[in-house]
Amino acid sequence: MSTVLLIRHGLTAMTGPVLAGWTPAVDLDDRGREQARTLAERLAQLPLAAIVASPLERCQQTAAALRERRDVDVRTDERIGECRYGDWTGQELKKLAKDPLWRVVQAHPSAVTFPGGESLREVQCRAVSAVREWNATLGSEATYAIVSHGDVIKAVVADALGMHLDLFQRIVVDPCSLSVVRYTGLRPFLTRLNDTGGGVGDLLPPKRRSRGRRSGGYDAAVGGGAGASS
């Protein structure tokens, strides 16, 4: 049962007002670096078989914060990189919202191919393929992190839930949030979504969770629920 921690990169100066896409040299800002440090502290107790990151700087920097607390290299996989928005890249969202294609992106995303870019169907296909391949490479008992982007993570989550891509805009993935999917031989299970706070003891391997309970109720001590925001 592979456990995948899907982590969106932390905040940047572009997050919110601008569709950054593959704009080069978009770094985490002070808020984003603090988010990454806080998340790294939360996850420090979890043994990770790998940290896989989008090649874009904001994801590499978020992944580097996770790597500081463990002896695991950051591996780069372009398949979990941001959607290639083509002509929309670097544009202000308030301007894009006036484009007729914007409504299609919101209501019928499976029909969208961005002008000069790729389709959201292609994004989901490449990202899900990457997750499945890493599951096979790292093994069924592995817990590992993928550091990626909002639309990419939403597409992976939609696939895990068996949802049509046209419903993926109903999913919220905030900056530096944690979403978790456990992949079994039968089907995936979404165990967390858009988690931005709280304990992670339930994500420890079963043997470690059992030791914690014997030594004084570890699960209860760290808190049982995810502090999801939307």
- Give 3-56 pLDDT, tens digit per residue: 999 999 999 999 999 999 999 999 999 999 999 999 999 999 999 999 999 999
Nearest to 201 by CA among 218, 213, 186, 184: 218
Helix axes 150-160, 120-138, angle to 10 degrees: 70
What's the pLDDT score for residue 22? 98
- Greatest pairwise CA separation for the chain in angstroms: 59
What global pTM score does this model have? 0.87
Which pLDDT band holds residue 202 (cuts at 50, 70, 90)?
confident
110 alpha-carbon distance from chain centroid: 20
What's the pLDDT score for residue 1? 86
CATH no. of 2-222: 3.40.50.1240
- Give 204-224 pLDDT, tens digit per residue: 887 665 554 443 332 222 222
Segments making up each domain of the chain, as ranges: 2-222
Instruction: At 201, list the tokens.
Output: 């003891």
| 110-134: average pLDDT | 98
Is residue 229 pLDDT above 80, yes or no? Answer: no
Mean of pLDDT over the chain = 90
